[in-house]
Amino acid sequence: MKVAVVGATGMVGAVMLKVLEERNFPVTEFIPVASERSVGKEIVFKGKPYSIIGLQDAVNARPDIAIFSAGGGTSLEWAPAFAEIGCTVIDNSSAWRMDRTKKLVVPEINAHDLTSEDKIIANPNCSTIQLVMVLAPLHKKYTMKRVIVSTYQSVSGTGIAAVNQLENEIKGVKGEMAYPYPIHKNALPHCDVFEANGYTKEEMKLAREPQKILDDRSFSISATAVRIPTAGGHSESVNVEFFNDFDISEIRKILHETPGVTVQDNPDTNTYPMPVYAHDKDDVFVGRIRRDETQPNTLNLWIVSDNLRKGAATNAIQIAEYLVEKNLVGESVSRA
C-alpha cells in the first residue's frame, strides 16, 4: 500500500504521521509531500528518514492513497491529478466537502456509502465531526428538529501561526499576528472569514455539513464559533430540539454504546469533558447531559474532542482503513 501524505510538514500532517504509526496502517511505501519550499527536507516516519518531494513527483510515484492536508487551493488543483491516475484522495480541506459529486465521510456514520469509484473523498470540518458523532445516534432515535451550537475552538484549528501568536503573547513577546486581535486572555467570536449573511465560514460549515453527512435536510443548525486561548481541543455547547421526547437515562445509554464516543457526565464528582483531557485521544467526549427545561423535547450537551486527531488526522486515516478493509483501493493504480 503506497501512501502519500500531502502537507506532511504541517500541524495536521505531523499528527497524520503519528496516527498512521500508532494504528499500524499497512504502509509498504511512504511518500511525504509538501510545498516546493520544503522539498528535500527530511522527516522521520516509523524511525526512518524520508525526503520530502513535490506534488508532481508524488503523482508520478503513483500512490494508492493520498491523504491531503495542504489547504483548499492545493486540493482543488492537485486532487484531480492524483484521482486521474487511480489514486484515492482523502482531503482534509473544505475544497470538496459540499461538492455534490463527492462524499463527506465520518466512518462511524456513513463509510458504508463509499465505493471504489470514489476517488476524492472529503474529510469534514473538525467541529462538524465531533458534533455529528454525538448527534447521529440521537437523531436516529428521536429525530432532530433544530440544533443551536456554540463552539469554543483552540488556536491549533487555525494553524501554527496562531499557536505561535498565543505562545508569544503568554511570554510577552511581540510577533506575527494570526488574528486581528490578541488571543491570550481573550475570546474572538470570529472563526474563518465572514460571509455576506453575517456568519463566518466556520459557522456555515457547521450548518451545512451535518445535513450532508446524515443525508437529511429536515433539521436545521444555527452556529456561533468562538476562538479561545487553548492550545488544542475544541469544545461545543449544543442545544438539540427533537420531534420526539426522550428519557435522559436512555440518552446516556445510547451514547455509552456509540463507538468512538465516551460519556463523562457526573456532576457529583465534577466529571465532564475538557480539552486538557481530550488531548491526544481519538474519542469524542460528551457530558453535561441535561434536559432543557424551557421547552419540550430539547436536550443540552457539552462535546469536546482533539481537533487535530478525530477532528482531522484520525478521521482521515479511519476512512483509509475502511477503504483497505473493503478492498476499495489499490487495484486501479496498479492497472494504470
pLDDT by residue (tens digit) across 274-308?
A: 999 999 999 999 999 999 999 999 999 999 999 99
Cell 524511525 identifies what position? Answer: 47
Burial (CB < 10 A; 0-12, 13-18, 19+), residue 67, is: buried
pLDDT at 336: 42
CA 259/CA 284 separation, integer angstroms: 10
CA 219 distance to own-chain centroid: 22
Q: What angle do CA 203, 35, 19 make, to 5 degrees?
A: 65
pLDDT band for 154, please (50, 70, 90 cuts).
very high
pLDDT at 330: 76
Domain ranges of the chain: 2-124+312-335, 127-306
Q: Determine the average pLDDT of the residues in 226-252.
A: 98
Residues in Cβ contact with 279 at an 8 Å cutoff, skipping those fewer than 6 apart: 232, 233, 306
135-151 confidence digits (pLDDT tens): 999 999 999 999 999 99
pLDDT band for 224, please (50, 70, 90 cuts).
very high
Share of the chain above pLDDT 70, in %: 98
Q: Which fold has domain 127-306?
A: Dihydrodipicolinate Reductase; domain 2 (3.30.360)
- Mean pLDDT is lowest, of 2-11, 242-251, 314-323, 327-336, for 327-336
pLDDT at 331: 56
58-90 confidence digits (pLDDT tens): 999 999 999 999 999 999 999 999 999 999 999
**Average pLDDT of every residue of the chain:** 96
pLDDT at 150: 98
Active-site choice (87, 112, 126, 191): 126
CA 206/CA 150 separation, integer angstroms: 10
Question: 240 — phi, psi (to 5°)?
Answer: -120, 125
User: Are 110 and 217 contacting, i.e. CB atoms less than 8 angstroms apart?
Assistant: no
Strands 65-68 and 2-6: parallel
- Judge whether 191 counts as a catalytic residue: no
- Judge whether 87 counts as a catalytic residue: no
Q: Determine the average pLDDT of the residues in 182-209.
A: 98
pLDDT at residue 334 is higher than 80: no
Q: Residues in the chain, how many?
A: 336
Q: Determine the average pLDDT of the residues in 43-71.
A: 97
Active-site choice (87, 139, 191, 234): 234
Q: Which fold has domain 2-124+312-335?
A: Rossmann fold (3.40.50)
Q: Determine the average pLDDT of the residues in 37-57.
A: 96
